[in-house]
Amino acid sequence: MVRKLLPILAACLLLILLLIVTRRFWTGNYLNFSDGAKFADVARNIASGNGYSSNFSNFTSKALGFENLVSVSRWTKPVMPLVIAGFLKIFGVSDSSVIATSSLFYLLLVLTTYFLGKKLWGKLVGLLGAISVAFNFNFLEYALSGASETLFAFEIVLGAFLFALKKRWANILGFLVLVLIYFTRAQGIIYIFGLTLLFFLLHFQPKKALGYFLAFFVVGSFLYLFVSKQGLFAITQHLPGQAASNALRGAVQETNMIALFKKVFYNLYNFYKLLPQIVSPYMWAIFIIGLFVWSKNKIENYLKLSTIFMVVVTFLVTALTIPFFRYLHPVVPLIYLFATASLVWVVKKIFSKSKTMAIVSSLLIFIFVVGQSLGVIFLDSRFKAKTINKGKPPVYVALSRILKENTNPDDIIVTNLDTWGSWYGERKTIWYPLEPKQLEGLDDEVDAIYLTSYLIDDENYYMGPEWRQVFFNPDKIEGSFILENYILAGEFEISPEETYERQGARAILLVRNQ
Q: Quickly count: other Cβ atoms within 10 Å of residue 445's Cβ.
A: 13
The dihedrals phi and psi of 26, each to the nearest 5 degrees, come to: -130, -60
**Confidence (pLDDT) at 323:** 85
* Residue 65 pLDDT: 47
Say if residue 431 is exposed, middle or buried (CB neighbours under 10 Å; 0-12, 13-18, 19+). Answer: buried
Highest mean pLDDT of the ranges 9-13, 16-20, 259-263:
16-20
Residue 71 φ/ψ region, left for φ over 0, alpha for ψ in the -120 to 50 degree band, beta for the rest: beta
CA angle 332, 333, 338 (to 5 degrees): 100
For residue 1, name the pLDDT band (cuts at 50, 70, 90).
Answer: low
237 has a pLDDT exceeding 90: no
Asked whether the predicted pLDDT for residue 239 surpasses 60, the reply is no
Please check whether residue 453 is in contact with residue 71, taking contact to mean a CB–CB distance below 8 angstroms.
no
Residue 23: DSSP 8-state: I
Residue 426 predicted with pLDDT over 60? yes
Q: For residue 362, which phi and psi values (nearest 5 degrees)?
A: -65, -40
The mean pLDDT of the chain is: 90
Looking at residue 62, its amino acid is K
230 pLDDT band, cuts 50/70/90, is: low
Alpha carbon distances (Å) from 3 to 6, 8, 9: 5, 9, 10
Q: Which of 458, 103, 109, 129 is nearest to 290 (CA)?
A: 129
* Structure confidence at residue 439 (pLDDT): 84
pLDDT band at 440 (very low <50, low <70, confident <90, very high): confident
Give the β-pairing of 412-415 and 448-452. parallel
More confident residue, 65 or 386: 386
Buried-state track 464-499, b at ≥16 Cβ within 10 A, e below 16: eebbebbbeebeebeeebbeebbeebeebebeeebb
How large is the average pLDDT for residues 260-277?
A: 90
- Asked whether the beta carbons of 317 and 187 are under 8 A apart, the reply is yes
Intra-chain end-to-end CA distance of the chain, in Å = 70
> Which pTM does this prediction carry?
0.93
pLDDT in tens, 187-219: 999 999 999 999 999 999 999 999 999 999 999
The Cα–Cα gap between 421 and 428 comes to 8
Question: Among 442, 450, 441, which Cα is nearest to 422's?
Answer: 450
How would DSSP label each residue in 137-163?
Answer: HHHHHHHTTT-SHHHHHHHHHHHHHHH
Which pLDDT band, with edges at 50, 70 and 90, does 66 fall under? Answer: very low
Name the pLDDT band for 255 (thresholds 50, 70, 90): low
How far apart are alpha carbons 73 and 77 in whole angstroms? Answer: 8
**Higher per-residue confidence, 294 vs 339:** 339
Res 63: pLDDT:
44
| Burial label, 449 (beta-carbon count in 10 A; 0-12, 13-18, 19+) | buried
Q: What pLDDT is stored for residue 304 in this prediction?
A: 97
DSSP secondary structure letters along 175-206: HHHHHHHHTT-TTHHHHHHHHHHHHHHHHS-H
Q: What percent of the chain clears pLDDT 90, i.e. is strictly above it?
A: 69
Cβ-Cβ contacts under 8 Å for 337 (sequence gap 6 or more): 113, 116, 117, 125, 129, 133
Top mean-pLDDT range of 49-63, 127-141, 455-469 = 127-141
492 pLDDT exceeds 90? yes
- Under 8 Å between Cβ of 72 and 56: yes
Q: What is the pLDDT of residue 443?
A: 67
Residues written for the chain? 514
Q: Is the pLDDT of residue 233 over 70?
A: no
Kindly list the distances between the CA atom of residue 200 and the CA atoms of 95, 216, 296, in Å, as whole numbers in the listed order: 42, 10, 19
Give the whole-angstrom CA distance, residue 363 versus residue 347. 11
Separation CA 275–CA 269 (nearest Å): 10
